[in-house]
Structure 1
Amino acid sequence: MNKIQTLTMTFLTVAVLTANGAGAAAAPEPVRSLSVQVNGKAIQQQAIFDNQQQTVLVPLRQVAESLGFAVTWNESRNVAEIQKGTIWSYAKAGEDGYPDANVMKKLGAKPRLLNGSTYVPLAFVRDIMKTPVAVSGDDVTVGGAAADDHLKKAGTITGVRSDNGNVSIHVNGFLRGVVLYVSADTEIVTEDGRALKPEDLKLGMEVEATHAEVMTMSLPPHTAAKRIVVKNSLPDRVLGTAGELQSVTADSDGTLRVELKGERLSEHAFDNVVLRVTDQTEIVSTDGNTLLSPKDLKQGARVYAFYSPMLTKSLPPIGAAEKIVVEPSE
């Protein structure tokens, strides 16, 4: 996916018809052509690299229909509409505006008419049609192999919920996270291939998950887990609290203490707790699972803290932090 980050991507629009029914056509211009594969099969029309917009444009109808979308022309609005299940949107030549759920989204590029065909930014396929894309040299891949990186999430389990036997896990918190629904079809294994059960998924575990293509547009998004690999775990019976750091202080021996107030993540945890941060405490960010240091713990930061059940009987109780996961500031 990194290969397309420098490209602004826009989706193909169908040809706009003139009042007398003739197809409109744009003047030809020198462009770089790219081959297109959708779910592993080549389509007849090629994509182009639009030098003016510095973006890859793909032919709407062939790409959309190859993905199972219905494509229709709305003559009254001069837009090409696409629909598949709950996904509906449209593209209009010359306008950078695309319906996405209940909002109008800008993708940074406009659909164009070229030689009688409508082309749209590749980002439309990725962001509006919810289909992974990749660009490598003169090749555009839609779906299929492009899905491998697009459909993976790595990070820390920051929430576990079980409702009548239905298990879901929250990975990487709120701003950068995802809620994964675990079913009988979800494969759960350790890195060395040992099979696990849904009830083995615990707070603080580092996991890498492969999930379904379709995700809700909520924050965080929700989707189904296909495969979960547990990379490492915390000690049994670890407790968890999510909230805001009220204070960050150092003891006389240099040991850092943080006071956390928020919401308990497990049954016997606390809404308000003071935790000692030692050289054994793992500190990571929800943004890319980046390793952090104690100096990155600031008052006001939102964190997910996992700690030993061995706590003092004081109010708030005091214990040792096993792992702290830090949300980005924005």
Structure 2
Amino acid sequence: MKKVVLLVLFLSILLPATVFGAEQGINVYIDGVKLQFTSKPIQENGTTLVPLRTIFEGLGANVKWDAKTQTVIASKNGVNIEIKLGQKFATRDGKRIPLTTKPRTILGVTYVPLRFIGESFGNTIEVKGKEIYIISPEPPSFEYEAKDSSVQAGTTPNQTTTPAQSGSNVSVQEIGKLSNRVVYIETYDASNKPLATGSGIVVSSDGKILTNFHVIDGASSVKIEFND
């Protein structure tokens, strides 16, 4: 019995009090959907730390773990971030960003700073007590209104065109229903060596896919991975 008591006391000294304390009640939502953590988030120095795997998968980011350097490498939509355990800074697209709390491993679970990750990928973070909301950026609009309609086929000078459903609002839930249009892209050069990775979105029924130019710039072949 003494050994058990001593072990508990020893762990309570080693681990932050927040691991055992009231901070276990933190809930995180991405576009209204609650994330299910196998290990609960913790807070330290005003920073929320969350389990690595759950947050990156929830945000749809590609993540790799370099065991040799203890570094987390993640990418999404052309943004690349690196977080090294035990260091009070991270990098975003090669730029060094200071962190208020060091990412680290606790009881076999790797914890990383929530706000840094969410905002690095363009999301908005809202904190309401113990409820944290991650809100995805609005998708780009594909509507087009001609400034000089005379250059369009089938129109006459001074004739204007109105974009379909101009000014219509789309809810977060409606955007979520379109998530199956998102694709993962890998590009290769003429020697079949990897060039870049990124994401794209299917924008037409005949299979047209929109992506950033830098993803396909200089590519000789492209691999597209759909959600199925």
Structure 1 or 2: more strand by fraction: 1
How does the TM-score come out when normalised to structure 2? 0.49
How does the TM-score come out when normalised to structure 1? 0.35
Structure 1 or 2: more helix by fraction: 2
Larger Rg: 1
